[in-house]
Amino acid sequence: MSEAKAVLASVLPHHQAPAAKPHRVAAAVRPATHRGNAQVVVQLGAYNSADRVLTAWDGQARKYSALKAYLPTSARFASPKGVFYRLSVRGFSSVAEAEGFCNALRRKGGSCFVRNVAGDQPVQYASR
């Protein structure tokens, strides 16, 4: 700090600057504990907007905690009925593992099916 600024700082009243409000930024995807690389996903749903995918993931991950061990992904899908955004999880080591996981999820009341990876990308979270 220059000498002039130091003198001014010593005689002017000190006011604390207001705390900066936290802002939302894209955060890294939560790490999955299962790291299998089979080219299959367990699809949990399809929604008419990308924003609905994150909302659906939050709700399903709360309801079925086993989902948190896998990487949530989303893929845009154009169909004759319009554009949909798929919500899936990946990180399975085989088709059989994915099918077993989906069957266990169904027994707990969930809805899912196994499909091949088709443009699925990690779901992006906003920090809160």
**Which region, left, alpha or beta, applies to residue 19 given φ > 0 means left and ψ of -120 to 50 means alpha?**
beta
CA–CA distance, 67 with 89 (Å, rounded to integer): 7
d(CA 44, CA 12): 61
Tell me the pLDDT tens digit for each residue of 63-113: 999 999 999 999 999 999 999 999 999 999 999 999 999 999 999 999 999
- Structural element, H or E, at residue 16: none
Report the range of poorest mean pLDDT among 16-20, 24-28, 68-72: 24-28
CATH of domain 26-126: 3.30.70.1070
What per-residue confidence (pLDDT) applies to 2?
A: 42
- Strand pairing partners for 26? 126
Residue ranges of the domains in the chain? 26-126
Closest CA to 104 of 51, 65, 71: 65
What global pTM score does this model have? 0.70
pLDDT digits over 28-58, tens only?
A: 344 455 678 899 999 999 999 989 999 999 9
